[in-house]
Amino acid sequence: MAAAILEVDHLTVRREAATVVDDVSFSLQPESDTALVGPNGAGKSSLVQALLGILPRCSGSIRLLGEPLGPRGQLPAAVRDRLAYLPQTLTLRGRIPLSVAEFVALGYERPGLSLPWRGHSGRSGAVRSALARTDSSDLAERLISDLSTGQLKRVLLAFCVVRPRSLLLLDEAQAGLDSQASEQFHSLLYGLRRREGWTILQVSHDLEMVRRSCDMVLCLNRSLRCSGSPDHALSPSQLEHLYGPGFVPYHHHHASQPTPR
Answer yes or no: are the C-beta atoms of 204 and 216 closer than 8 Å. Answer: no
- Which pLDDT score is estimated for 248? 72
Q: Could you read off the pLDDT of 86-101 as tens digits, one per residue? A: 988 777 666 778 999 9
pTM: predicted TM-score of the whole model, two decimal places: 0.88
- Which pLDDT score is estimated for 143? 94
Domain for residue 68, yes or no?
A: yes
Domain for residue 67, yes or no?
A: yes
As for how many domains the chain has, the answer is 1
For the cut 70, the answer to whether the pLDDT of residue 242 exceeds it is: yes
> Residue 36 sits in a domain of what CATH number?
3.40.50.300
Q: Could you read off the pLDDT of 170-222 as tens digits, one per residue? A: 999 888 898 899 999 999 999 999 999 999 999 999 999 999 999 999 999 99
Judge residue 91's burial from the number of C-beta atoms within 10 Å of its C-beta, 0-12 exposed, 13-18 middle, 19 or more buried.
exposed
| Rounded CA separation 158/100 (Å) | 10
Helix ranges, 162-233 (H): 179-196, 207-213, 230-233
- Which candidate, 202, 203, 207, 204, places its Cα nearest to that of 249? 207
- Which pLDDT score is estimated for 250? 59
Q: Could you read off the pLDDT of 124-157 as tens digits, one per residue? A: 899 999 999 999 999 999 999 899 999 999 999 9
- Which pLDDT score is estimated for 108? 86
Write out the DSSP string of 119-156.
T-SSHHHHHHHHHHHTT-GGGTTSBGGG--HHHHHHHH
Q: How confident is the model at residue 122 (pLDDT cuts 50, 70, 90)?
A: confident
Domain for residue 23, yes or no?
A: yes
Containing domain of residue 47, as a range? 1-76
Domain for residue 128, yes or no?
A: no
Domain for residue 99, yes or no?
A: no
- Which candidate, 190, 120, 180, places its Cα nearest to that of 149? 180
| CA 120 to chain centroid | 26
Helix ranges, 17-113 (H): 44-51, 77-80, 100-106
